[in-house]
Amino acid sequence: MYRNAKNVGYYMIGKGALAQLGDLLTSRRETRDGPAVFFLDHYFEGKDLADRLPVEHWDMVVYVDTTEEPTTDSVDGYTARVREFLDGKTPCALLAFGGGSTLDTCKCVGNLLTNPGKAEDYQGWELVKHPAPYKIAVPTLSGTGSETSRTGIICNEAKNLKLGMNSDYTMFDQVLLDPDLTASVPRNQYFYTGIDTYMHCFESLSGSYRNVVVDSLAEKAIDICKRVFLSDDMMSDENRELLMIASFLGGMAAGFVGVVHPISAGLSMVLHMHHGLANCYALSVQEDIYPTEYRDFMTMIERQDIDLPKGICRGLTDAQYTALYEASIVHEKPLTNRLGPDFKKILTKENVIERFKRM
């Protein structure tokens, strides 16, 4: 079976590239009547970033609450607000500034602006039937790969399920990468988010669903991640630009993952843990599944002096442990990708709960 693969149409990278955003947006405004809608991580509310953006008085600025990861309910809520503001107009562009939560929110809202129903209706593969409005990504964190992936990840609280809108229509049309925007990221957060690229790339390479293009992108992204996280200073000017490149490549290589992301999804759903940090805890108890990558990861944590305290699952109830197991084991495709169709014989309920207890 052959799949016709799509990538981001345009990208711009370099220190100070944000200054070019106005020119990119002007070309959209000249041919379209609708306003622009800017999605900004709520971290930037009251800070100077908004003042540096080409926002006109008829545009809309939405501050996305990233205290927790995007949910089907939060996406539905933002969609309703944007739709009411647009009042039937088609936006000239949707723009996202932040990490994966903000970028994914923008992508999912875009899908719902042109497709009927609610966010939960499109959690899965190839369910989005109509193209979304034009979208521009300006990541201010590196690592999630959301800027180039075809997936917008959202949590469905009612179903205890973390799953994306996986569609070519979910992808951004333009990406602008300015490493100056990651200079003020807290050091731990920079690592937790950045290491996501390393993880989903080695998971892809360790699986059975492979192709030579994805492998090549993943291999290069891993090489860059090792160069960054095994260096003396992962946040040097050079390394911040390199990590943006790794995230860009890793997003394009993000096909099927493996065991790290399902266990991470359990932590996100039950303990409301952010994705990057949850990934770190997930890999920290998978030395038997990914021995080489586990050793490299622990070396990176030590080299960069990153905090990963133990005891996050201490004192949970049996019901919470069961919920963690169920929210992890439901991800059959990635688990089959790494462990084969009999993955439940390896990841028994007892085995998975024991891993959570060691975190």
Query: Could you report the per-residue pLDDT of 144-171, keeping only the tens digit for each?
Result: 999 999 999 999 999 989 999 999 999 9
Does the global pTM surpass 0.85? yes
- The pLDDT confidence band at residue 76, using thresholds 50, 70 and 90, is very high
Distance CA 188, CA 93 (A): 33
What pLDDT is recorded for position 6?
86
- The pLDDT confidence band at residue 214, using thresholds 50, 70 and 90, is confident
Spatial contact of 24 and 138, defined as CB atoms under 8 Å apart: no
Q: Calculate mean pLDDT across residues 95-110.
A: 98
What torsion, rounded to 10 degrees, do the Cα atoms 112, 118, 121, 126 define? 0
Distance CA 46, CA 229 (A): 32
Query: pLDDT at residue 1 above 60?
Result: no
What percentage of the chain carries pLDDT values higher than 90?
Answer: 91
What distance separates the 2 farthest-apart alpha carbons in the chain? 60
Spatial contact of 122 and 79, defined as CB atoms under 8 Å apart: no
Spatial contact of 15 and 241, defined as CB atoms under 8 Å apart: yes
Which amino acid is it at 104? D
Query: pLDDT at residue 241 above 60?
Result: yes
For residues 201-240, b (16+ Cβ closer than 10 Å) or e, as one string?
bbbbbbbeeeeeebeebbbbbbebbeebbebeebbeeebb
Q: HSE (CB half, 13 Å, CA atoms) of 344?
A: 8
What pLDDT is recorded for position 99?
96
Spatial contact of 127 and 61, defined as CB atoms under 8 Å apart: no
What pLDDT is recorded for position 211?
82
What pLDDT is recorded for position 320?
97
What pLDDT is recorded for position 126?
94
- The pLDDT confidence band at residue 314, using thresholds 50, 70 and 90, is very high
What pLDDT is recorded for position 326?
97
Q: Calculate mean pLDDT across residues 50-64.
A: 96
Query: pLDDT at residue 282 above 80?
Result: yes
- The pLDDT confidence band at residue 5, using thresholds 50, 70 and 90, is confident
Q: Calculate mean pLDDT across residues 284-302.
A: 97
What pLDDT is recorded for position 2?
64
Spatial contact of 203 and 261, defined as CB atoms under 8 Å apart: yes
DSSP classification of residue 173: S
What pLDDT is recorded for position 255?
66
Spatial contact of 43 and 185, defined as CB atoms under 8 Å apart: no
Q: Calculate mean pLDDT across residues 272-287.
A: 97
Q: Which residue has the tokens 């169920």?
A: 326
Spatial contact of 242 and 227, defined as CB atoms under 8 Å apart: yes
What percentage of the chain carries pLDDT values higher than 70?
Answer: 99
| Helix (H) or strand (E) run with residue 156 in it | strand 151-156
What pLDDT is recorded for position 187?
96
Task: Give me the helix-helix angle, 332-339 and 260-271, nearest 10°.
Answer: 150
Q: Calculate mean pLDDT across residues 222-236.
A: 97
pLDDT digits (tens, 9 = 90+) for 58-74: 999 999 999 999 999 99
What pLDDT is recorded for position 9?
87
What pLDDT is recorded for position 121?
98
What pLDDT is recorded for position 311?
95
Spatial contact of 230 and 300, defined as CB atoms under 8 Å apart: yes
Judge residue 23's burial from the number of C-beta atoms within 10 Å of its C-beta, 0-12 exposed, 13-18 middle, 19 or more buried.
Answer: exposed
Q: HSE (CB half, 13 Å, CA atoms) of 266?
A: 28
Q: Helices in the chain by DSSP H: which ranges?
A: 21-29, 72-86, 100-114, 187-205, 212-229, 237-253, 260-271, 275-283, 291-304, 318-329, 332-339, 343-346, 349-357
Spatial contact of 7 and 148, defined as CB atoms under 8 Å apart: yes
Task: Name the average pLDDT for the chain.
Answer: 95
Query: pLDDT at residue 268 above 80?
Result: yes
Query: pLDDT at residue 134 above 60?
Result: yes
